[in-house]
Structure 1
């Protein structure tokens, strides 16, 4: 009967949609954990379907990977758009910023897409990209209107800062780089409306300010560290760890004093 045939075709389409969603969900977990090295047959096994089912929906592993990335971006866009209804524009903007960084940083597949490490150019549709940009721009505009974000920040700045935070969090995911960047997006104290949180004060050790500071004549308003032995000013290092001593003589004096204090003879050579 035609009705039975139509119902059977509808059930097949529903099964196909469920299988596709299941494969996408499993593939996202696998790619996030193991990257692109996992074969499609393993993804099919974990999804509880046959390899032929996977190939019917996705012509290759790269096509599946691309579908996973696009699906995750679409969900990220939806989550970002949902924050636009938050009653606190500043909290909504910074929640969105942290959410985007966190979701991108912890998902290896999405990171590969954004940094072009997969070897395949992702074809995220312009509509999805524009939706994401529009969502960020709307959150930014509301936050700036509430005085929670600096007025000179643009949506392009925000997108570049997101990508920068992702790289830093990949190097050592702590949330600290994102928190510091968010502090930089807030207006200065003189421009901040009453009641808004101040910029986070970093611990002294994190700022490399464990030694007394003196004015640095090479840079107006800047400071230079003092020698831990003689107290004289020393040139600030451009890279690496800041120096503790003004020269080898003070370094050796400090070493000999430490050796005396611990009743050990100083090493020579």
Structure 2
């Protein structure tokens, strides 16, 4: 067994031999995490942190849950890896479980390595299915750090890596607190909705493959839309034969009180 390293040694090796995402490398000051339990994790100096972020918004049931650890051990003993073209019992079982909680009649899952890769494949799906190339997305949005997903994003971190992929058209957000159209909740005319349809008309509905939205905007501000926003997006998409995509990487799996954020508004995406 290798000897335990000090906090300084852990940080130094990470800085010297690895890159950190979305960071100025010379200014990174990472926490040397060595363990976790439940809603807490701790560093190499024994300092404990309450993990409000669930690391990358994915530890819904906390750190080191004993059932998760046991499942990992059992699967590692049985089979560590199978190629994507193979069928396995756990792949089919997980797909079936996801179908049971997915919105509406959505019943098939494409397994990817993370959110960005999932969105890259969603881009391909909607373009291949519709034969169209444009995708409507929002300025206050984040869909991942790969080339296509970053172009989908309105997040300003996309700017240094532009031009990105072609065909992405951005619209304003349903941001009631700081309305981009200058209204208050009392005077709102839902320009955040009619604006989307207007942009689709300008771009040519026959060219638009999908409207691509986060269930609830995450990284770009935790923006909760008005109650009629998602239902109206469904109506507009159906009107022009456009697919509706909900990126639930941050808002899905119970984080809004429903299995998926769109369930709060009774909407089934494509």
Q: What TM-score comes out, normalization by structure 1 length?
A: 0.20
Q: When the two structures are superposed, what TM-score results if normalisation uses the length of structure 2?
A: 0.20
Q: Which has the larger radius of gyration?
A: 1
Greater RCO (Cα-Cα under 8 Å, separation 6 or more): 2
More strand by share: 2
Q: Which has the higher helix share?
A: 1
